[in-house]
């Protein structure tokens, strides 16, 4: 068996690896002409280098001892060595985990599966970069990046960022050391930003749900306490009643201004409950007589004094009311308004 140059190079490499804890200068000096020496040893007789010289690690140990170089576990270099050993262990464990997780995903190793996801990461990276850019350029944290609050600009930035990210991903192998480190740092920033964006959008979507409830139909008239109906002449209609298209009475507000001493006032069915609190004053009676025959059935003159709450109701009869904008359906189910006072 002849020893090839590759055998010698391998042997030298293993010796150097076993001396890795020494300062580089010392190690280089120790193994400087080892290849030449091994070439002579190899030319001496048949048999492999290991047969003749023993394992490279043993050779290295002998070399180290004879040369009086530091003991492997001595001093600060021992710490370096331990760090290197720990790193080696972590790496071995990670690769073991990689191989074990692979079958769960249906692949030989987890890293093989993750490699397939790389283009997806490039697209996501482009999106996150666009979102970050728009956030910096005065946009809000929105699902669609909107720099300067413009959707068109946002779309253009998004497309450009995604294409750039894909290009970068395809050409990352050519990057030198520092640009590559910069890229990794940027990725870290984008991942953190992405989490912030996610939490922000999630919170906002929950807030929107409550917002819909706030404007939902059931609550829209919460703030209505009373209803005031004015006829075409601008006069307040007393005792008006509201019905929907099915003849169901619409109940809004409550008689909050009614004197508790007169409980029957609370039973009043018409609006307004509190005519004395009308937001607009009725027109003065001077203008009232001008359109006498418009609808025929307007309230008798002299009634629209709004301040005197008791006056109109006392005179009111069912036929006197129809000038109200909402006229009660004259069906039998509607109780006849009875004078309350």
Partner 1 sequence: MDTTQLLKGVLDLAVLAVLREEDGYGYDILRRLRDAGLEEVGDASVYGTLRRLFAAGLLTTYVVPSESGPHRKYYALNAAGRDQLARSGKTWRSFATTMDALLDDRGMAA
Closer CB to partner 1, 27 or 241, in the complex: 27
Rounded to an integer, what distance in angstroms lies between the CA atom of residue 11 and that of residue 14?
A: 5
- The three-state secondary structure class of 262 is coil
In the complex, what is the shortest distance from the CB of residue 78 to partner 1, in angstroms, rounded to a whole number?
A: 20
Pick between residue 14 and residue 204 the one whose CB is nearest to partner 1: 14
Indicate the residue among 38 and 128 with the shorter CB distance to partner 1. 38
CB-wise, 40 or 244, nearer to partner 1? 40
Nearer to partner 1, 63 or 123 (CB): 63
For 106-112, the CB contacts below 8 A with 24+ separation are: none
CB of 39 to partner 1, least distance (A): 6
Residues of this chain that interact with partner 1 (CB under 8 A) are: 29-30, 32-37, 39-41, 43, 52-53, 59-60, 62-69
Other C-beta atoms closer than 10 Å to the C-beta of 331 total 8
Q: Which is nearer to partner 1, 64 or 125 (CB)?
A: 64
CB of 67 to partner 1, least distance (A): 4
* Nearest distance from C-beta of residue 44 to partner 1, angstroms: 8
CB of 79 to partner 1, least distance (A): 24
Q: Smallest gap, in angstroms, from Cβ of residue 71 to partner 1?
A: 14
Q: How far apart are CA 266 and CA 258, in angstroms?
A: 7
Give min distance, CB of 90 to partner 1, in A. Answer: 32
Nearest CA to 26 out of 63, 57, 69, 75 is that of 69
Number of C-beta neighbours around residue 87 at 10 A: 10
Q: What angle do CA 25, 31, 37 make, to 5 degrees?
A: 155
| Closest alpha carbon to 237 in 183, 298, 178, 292 | 298
Nearer to partner 1, 9 or 117 (CB): 9
Which residues lie below 8 Å from residue 9, measured CB to CB, with a gap of 6+? 35
CA distance 278 to 259: 17
| Region for 278 from its dihedrals, namely left if φ exceeds 0, alpha if ψ lies in -120 to 50, beta otherwise | beta
């Amino acid at each position: 068996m002849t020893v090839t140059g590759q055998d010698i190079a391998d042997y030298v490499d293993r010796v150097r690896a076993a001396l890795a804890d020494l300062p580089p200068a010392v190690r280089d000096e120790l193994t400087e002409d080892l290849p030449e020496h091994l070439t002579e040893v190899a030319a001496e007789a048949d048999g492999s280098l290991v047969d003749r010289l023993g394992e490279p690690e043993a050779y290295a140990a002998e070399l180290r001892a004879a040369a009086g170089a530091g003991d492997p576990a001595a001093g600060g270099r021992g710490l370096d060595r331990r760090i290197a050993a720990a790193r080696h262990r972590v790496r071995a464990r990670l690769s073991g985990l990689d191989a074990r997780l692979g079958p769960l995903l249906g692949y030989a190793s987890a890293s093989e599966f993750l490699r397939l996801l790389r283009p997806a990461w490039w697209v996501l990276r482009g999106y996150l970069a666009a979102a970050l850019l728009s956030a910096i350029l005065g946009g809000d944290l929105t699902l669609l990046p909107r720099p300067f609050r413009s959707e068109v600009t946002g779309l253009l930035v998004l497309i450009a960022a995604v294409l750039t990210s894909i290009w970068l991903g395809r050409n990352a192998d050519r990057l030198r050391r520092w640009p590559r480190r910069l890229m990794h740092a940027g990725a870290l920033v984008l991942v953190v930003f992405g989490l912030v964006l996610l939490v922000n959008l999630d919170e906002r979507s929950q807030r929107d749900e409550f917002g819909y409830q706030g404007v939902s139909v059931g609550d829209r008239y919460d703030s209505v306490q009373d209803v005031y109906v004015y006829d075409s002449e601008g006069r307040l209609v007393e005792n008006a009643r509201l019905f929907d298209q099915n003849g169901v009475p619409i109940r809004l507000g409550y008689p909050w201004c009614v004197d508790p001493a007169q409980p029957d006032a609370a039973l009043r069915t018409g609006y307004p409950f509190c005519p004395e609190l009308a937001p607009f004053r009725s027109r003065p009676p001077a203008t009232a007589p001008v359109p006498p025959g418009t609808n025929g059935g307007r309230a008798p003159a002299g009634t629209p004094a709004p301040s005197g709450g008791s006056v109109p109701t006392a005179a009111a009869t069912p036929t006197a009311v129809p000038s109200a904008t909402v006229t009660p359906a004259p069906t039998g189910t509607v109780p006849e308004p009875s004078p309350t006072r």
